[in-house]
Amino acid sequence: MRQFAQSGVNGLVIEKMSSELGCSKSSFYWYFKNRNEFITRLIERWVELSTQQVILSSSEPEKAEDQMTKMLIQMFSGTRKGDFLFYLRKLSEEVPVFHIMLETIEQTRMSYATALFRKVGMDPEVAEQKSLILYHYYLGWYERFKKDQVEDEELYRHIRMLRVQLLGI
């Protein structure tokens, strides 16, 4: 994932990765039919870490407002992780199967946020609009801080602002 986040598909050179892992190129192809299968599995793992675990973890608190806060903290505390999303978006423009994967990832994320907004009592249309606004704000945040460390004080200032603007609390 680190290689993809730093260089996109150009960083996923089978010979180089095999050498770094201490295995042969043929061993790589024992596990993966081709590079696209490897990339698909890589993206699936990234989804598990960056989307599914956030959803699962933020579902733990009882109150919807606390679930929303936990989701926001997890969304916005993940900085300095490179540019995985940028490279996935770029790849999705070139390879249709990855475009479908990206659309599914983003829809899953926004649907979860919409469900949380609905849990706090928002009208379905308003909840959907706010989840779209939140996701686009997240994309800007991700782009802005992909290589910088965000101090806790700054992070929590943004979380408080989002809670006020999106939840009115």
Print the domain residue range for 89. 2-167
Helix (H, G, I), strand (E, B) or coil at 27: helix
Residue 79 pLDDT grade (very low, low, confident, very high; cuts 50, 70, 90): low
CA distances from 98 to 1, 77, 82, 115, 127 (A): 15, 26, 19, 26, 28
Over residues 145-166, mean pLDDT:
89
User: How many angstroms separate the CA atoms of 15 and 43, rounded?
Assistant: 20
Phi, psi of 33 (to 5 degrees): -65, -40
Structural domains in the chain (count)? 1
User: How many angstroms separate the CA atoms of 65 and 164, rounded?
Assistant: 11
CATH value at residue 24: 1.10.357.10
User: How many angstroms separate the CA atoms of 26 and 39, rounded?
Assistant: 17
pLDDT tens, residue by residue, 81-137: 668 888 999 999 999 999 999 999 999 999 999 999 999 999 999 999 999 999 999
pLDDT tens, residue by residue, 15-60: 888 888 788 888 888 888 888 899 999 999 988 988 898 899 999 9
Residue 80 has pLDDT above 60, yes or no: no
DSSP class of 121: T
Helix (H, G, I), strand (E, B) or coil at 120: coil
Cβ–Cβ < 8 Å for 158, 134? no
User: How many angstroms separate the CA atoms of 168 and 28, rounded?
Assistant: 52
User: How many angstroms separate the CA atoms of 24 and 30, rounded?
Assistant: 10
Based on the number of CB atoms within 10 Å of its own CB, is 32 exposed (0-12), middle (13-18) or buried (19 or more)? Answer: middle
DSSP class of 148: S
Can you give the pTM of this predicted structure? 0.85
Q: Please name which of 27, 42, 36, 72 lies closest in space to residue 54, comparing C-alpha atoms.
A: 72
